[in-house]
Amino acid sequence: MSDDVTEILEVKGISSGYGKVPILHGIEFAVAENEVVGILGHNGMGKTTLLKTLMGFLPAGSGTVRFHATDITGMSPFERAGLGLGYVPQGRGIFPQLTVRDNLRFAWHEYAGASESDVMETVLADFPRLRPLLDREGGALSGGEQQLLALARCLMGDPDFLLLDEPTEGIQPSIIEEMGETLLALRESRGLSILLVEQNFDFISDLSDWVLVLERGRITGELSKADLSDQAKVDQFLGFGAARSTRRQASNHSGRPGAQPAATIQTKPQAASATEPAAASVVTNMTVKRPTLSQMRDMASRFGMNLSDEDLEEYREIIEPYMQAYDRLDAMPDYLPEVRYPRSPGHFPTQTENTLNAWYVKTEVRGAPDGKLRGKRIALKDTICLAGVPMMNGSSIMEGYTPEIDATIVTRMLDEGAVITGKAHCENFCLSGGSHTNAKGPIHNPWKRGYMAGGSSGGSAALVAAGEVDMAIAGDQGGSIRIPSSNCGVYGMKPTHGLVPYTGAMPIEQTIDHLGPVTNTVADNALLLEVLAGEDGLDPRQYKPTVYSYTEALGRGAHGMRIGILKEGFGHENSETDVDAKVMQAADRFRELGARVEEVSIPEHYTAMDAWTAITLEGLQDGMMWGNSTGTNYRGLFLPSMTDHMAQWQGRADELSHSLKACMFVGEHFQRQYRGRFYGKGQNIMRLCNERYLAALKQYDLLLMPTLPIKPQPHPPADCSLSLYVQRAFEMVPNTAPFNGGLPAMNIPCGLSEGLPIGMMLVGPHYGEMKIYQAADAFEQSGDWRNM
């Protein structure tokens, strides 16, 4: 940079990340007045983290940021905006229920230097496409129009420096071209400087004076304007076909007549055969990486194939039409559900407002003005997508991820008037029934600090028990709704498998994944399940669920009900006598309420625990770990952004919890050594166990047993052995896990011992939630469980 050029932004040695997870390492560069600098790199390299750090949404761990020669490293985002720094986030961040006009008005500030109406008129002059749309809701705009609105909204603050994060993502080529022209015109008319994060090579090269290459949080290269047209130099940093392209026809990139663009390939039109995809166009943009010869060798070796390099080269030619299908797929905008209600990202609560460490993020997303859940404050387990709000699933691997959709159940609750108040901490990737594995520290039991709140949905149950929310959503793969509900003294229902859509929640294994309500009363639990239940057409776990008005079960009493006390649910090796005694007293109370109560034996209850072990450990290794929480072989809603973020575990496996590591060793061993045969046998045996349960449930309306064999245990010390750490994660599941084979099961608080809650579990037949609520309500109305 020459001496007569004024630097407007100077970044020196910046390091940043999310909590304890470092993302950026010693970033240094400067941007001059009226200059456009591009940041190019693949997903997960730290581009968005860099912009968030420059805008002040993330703190810098080290280094300095100077803007107009002022040190802004410690300033808030609002203070930086007041100095002239503007930020357009990835995903646009507009308010879908506000009109275009109100979106713009919302962004005006006094530091813009003119009245709201004058500033808006100036902005609309630069964005004439928005003028006829002023009274249209933001959510009704096309993706390209939303992106133009996001840019216009940013300019309502009259910035002189723009931070743009992936502005072309999901946008049609014609709008991309218009956006590029608009940015160039703004640069000329307003003297703007721009820092542009992009993966679209054409867009970034057209706009930028020079480009930085970001790889794994470090700047690894710098490309001048001339370098951007030199394919050899581009490939040196990015690899062949690494960046997206939006040009649909050949253009002269190299200055030679008839030269092909760097990111395109010429193909001959031809008819499709049974084994070869049809060409969609004469020119196909090469946006995905092609396998190198070395990678082909590696794959052939993994497959056990003996192929020559000549054969492999021919295979590379054979698969090129298939690669072009991926190019076209990459160029299309994704098809994801609409986000209906405005929200903010919220904030990470301080220790004083998070004494139990049960919150991950606090926010306030208000739904419809009326409905069944009007005004109910609800927390979500931090496995459930809430668009625009961070999600980490208890793990440093996922920290920094923000989903762009609402889970199906979130939309259903908001449609019924709920207020989503935040995300509740859970165990590290949910692989624990304790509450000690979260990357942000242990979750405390609201009845006794230093003791287990239970897992994996510990934060959900603790917040309900502490009265910080009215209701919560939890998830359950081995007891993770019922375990924390028992430990915290609240009502937690694991519904029939598939009754509540799992769409938009981070899974472990499809055949054991459940979502359900946690509440302080049976009536609230039944009410919330009414809102949650039913098909959404997007979840392969659902198979025509039978749905009822669950609140109609309330007030019917227990007289005449038949309840079987499951003999095998008592007297486990680690069962505590006071727990078994309290649950037996609860069974006696049902007798007093007029129910017929007697013991029943189902020896397969022990077998179900073994079947669940094989299903869970092999299934999570195949789908959650190697499948990056997505997997294949089913139809439904997929969230590629979650898949991309989850895939980071393969370079950061040391950060996984000890309990997850233990599960992975078992799952990997049996998948590799026994080819998955025990997973299949486990599913068969679980089907047998369910038949035995259902045979008993023809004789009885419900089965009764302790939810857990033990009371909440102390958190293990930070320096405990691996054995104790893992023991505390799984010691409580022998009654809960067997019913993750699909039957509905609910925790009902039934007493206290040593100042800690004890829970009774009621189990019903498939879609038997009405009978469970009927009995649970009768028990609740019979007296205060705390005094039983």
Sheet holding 491-494, edge to edge: 359-366, 419-424, 377-381, 471-476, 514-519, 491-494, 745-753, 756-763, 702-706, 562-566, 596-600
The question of whether 480 is a catalytic residue gets the answer yes
Helix boundaries (H) for 164-223: 173-190, 201-207
Element containing residue 585 per DSSP (H, E)? helix 577-592
Cα 58 from chain centre: 20
Whole-number Å distance between alpha carbons of 394 and 433 = 13
Closest CA to 92 of 419, 387, 392, 347: 387
| Buried-state track 83-101, b at ≥16 Cβ within 10 A, e below 16 | ebbbbbbbbbbbbbebbbe
Task: From residue 716, give the alpha-carbon distance in Å to each of 81, 200, 720, 727, 728.
Answer: 46, 49, 6, 10, 7
**Which letter, b or e, does each residue of 216-240 get, where b requires 16 or more Cβ atoms within 10 Å of its Cβ?**
ebebebebeeebbbebeebeebbee
Q: How far, CA to CA in Å, does 228 sit from each of 177, 184, 204, 225, 287?
A: 18, 18, 9, 5, 16
381, 423, 440, 494: the catalytic one is: 381
Does 251 participate in catalysis according to the annotation? no
Catalytic residue among 457, 480, 629, 657: 480
Q: How far is CA 627 from CA 110, 618, 642, in A?
A: 50, 12, 11
β-pairing, 702-706 with 562-566?
parallel
Per DSSP bridges, beta strands 70-71 and 85-88 are unpaired
Q: Which two tokens stand for residue 639?
A: 């969230």
CB contact set of 492 (below 8 Å; sequence gap of 6+): 457, 461, 474, 481, 482, 484, 485, 486, 516, 517, 518, 525, 746, 747
| β-sheet bridge partners, residue 598 | 564
Gap between the Cα atoms of 80 and 55, Å rounded: 7
456 counts as catalytic: yes
The H or E element containing residue 212 is strand 210-215
Q: Are residues 19 and 191 in contact, defined by beta-carbon separation less than 8 angstroms?
A: no
* Token duo for residue 200: 């679209």
Helix (H, G, I), strand (E, B) or coil at 491: strand
Catalytic residue among 16, 205, 456, 457: 456
CA separation for the pair 221, 545 (Å, rounded) = 55
β-pair partners for 714: 451
- Burial of 144 from C-beta contacts in 10 A (0-12 / 13-18 / 19+): buried
User: At 666, is the secondary structure helix, strand, or coil?
Assistant: helix
Q: Which residues are catalytic?
A: 381, 456, 480
